[in-house]
């Protein structure tokens, strides 16, 4: 039986940290940005470009980069479509080869046939602000208002990207097996219990 975990998360909620720690504890291969690195290598494209196209979604890219030049849209759509298709193919290949944990990237929907344990991580705005401040890149001096706007933009892009592969909403609780509110939670302290939960859940659910 293949053990697959798919984590979606609000920006600043600590979902990636949960994913990394859970993958370590359960001995699962961890994939997040690693997917873009692999695609960039295979496509001979710049990794940042691949990351931007895949993570920020069609709509945002149109608005930010291409709205001044309508003639560029068709080729961008082609590139984005190809990169997203590559991402889904790669996710499927990785998941059939080994036990693994994916953060984001629509893996919950792409791997639905493999019956992954689907987790959503979220938190109240103040808690996410605090976490973002602690982990801000050097030199980032956003006001709270700007940071809240950034968090919303990223979450909207994640929801839009998810819509491309799923027929349910990104933040619909029925799309998940477990939803974790990390407000005022020390993530390290809950990992042993989440590991035990995942172990029990995998024993309950026979996939592949």
Taking the C-alpha atoms of residue 83 and residue 8, their distance in angstroms, rounded to an integer, is 20
Residue 2 CB, nearest approach to a copy of itself (Å): 16
Residues in 148-177 that interact with a copy of itself by CB under 8 A: 171, 173-174, 176-177
Helices (H) and strands (E) in the chain, counts: 8, 5
Scanning the structure block, which residue is given the tokens 């998360």?
9
**Which structure tokens are listed for 2?**
């293949």
**Residue 190 within binding range of a copy of itself, rule CB under 8 A:** yes
Nearer to a copy of itself, 80 or 123 (CB): 123
Residues in 110-139 that interact with a copy of itself by CB under 8 A: 122, 124
**Residue 74 within binding range of a copy of itself, rule CB under 8 A:** no
Concatenate the DSSP letters of all residues of 149-171 into one string: HHHHHHHHHHHHHHHTT-SS-TT
**Residue 1 within binding range of a copy of itself, rule CB under 8 A:** no
Residue 198 CB, nearest approach to a copy of itself (Å): 8
Scanning the structure block, which residue is given the tokens 């933040």?
171
Q: Give the long-range contacts of residues 64-69, CB within 8 A, separation 24 or more.
A: none
* DSSP symbol at 14: S
Residue 136 CB, nearest approach to a copy of itself (Å): 23
**Residue 199 within binding range of a copy of itself, rule CB under 8 A:** yes
Scanning the structure block, which residue is given the tokens 């590991």?
195
**Residue 181 within binding range of a copy of itself, rule CB under 8 A:** yes
Taking the C-alpha atoms of residue 153 and residue 75, their distance in angstroms, rounded to an integer, is 24
Residue 206 CB, nearest approach to a copy of itself (Å): 10
Q: What is the contact surface with a copy of itself in residues (CB under 8 A)?
A: 122, 124, 171, 173-174, 176-181, 183-186, 189-190, 192-197, 199-201, 203-205
């Amino acid at each position: 039986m293949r053990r697959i975990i798919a984590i979606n998360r609000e920006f600043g909620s600590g979902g990636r940290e949960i994913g990394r720690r859970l993958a370590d504890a359960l001995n699962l291969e961890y994939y997040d940005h690693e997917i873009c690195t692999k695609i960039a290598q295979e496509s001979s494209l710049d990794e940042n470009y691949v990351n931007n196209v895949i993570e920020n979604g069609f709509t945002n890219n149109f608005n930010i980069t291409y709205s001044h030049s309508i003639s560029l849209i068709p080729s961008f759509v082609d590139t984005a479509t190809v990169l997203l298709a590559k991402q889904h193919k790669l996710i499927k290949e990785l998941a059939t080869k080994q036990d693994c944990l994916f953060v984001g990237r629509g893996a919950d929907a792409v791997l639905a046939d493999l019956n992954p344990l689907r987790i959503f991580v979220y938190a109240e705005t103040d808690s996410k602000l605090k976490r973002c401040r602690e982990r801000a890149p050097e030199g980032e001096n956003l006001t709270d208002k700007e940071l809240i706007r950034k968090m919303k933009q990223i979450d909207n892009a994640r929801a839009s990207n998810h819509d491309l592969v799923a027929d349910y909403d990104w933040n619909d609780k029925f799309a998940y097996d477990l939803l974790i509110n990390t407000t005022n939670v020390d993530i390290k302290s809950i990992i042993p219990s989440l590991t035990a939960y995942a172990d029990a859940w995998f024993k309950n659910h026979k996939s592949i």
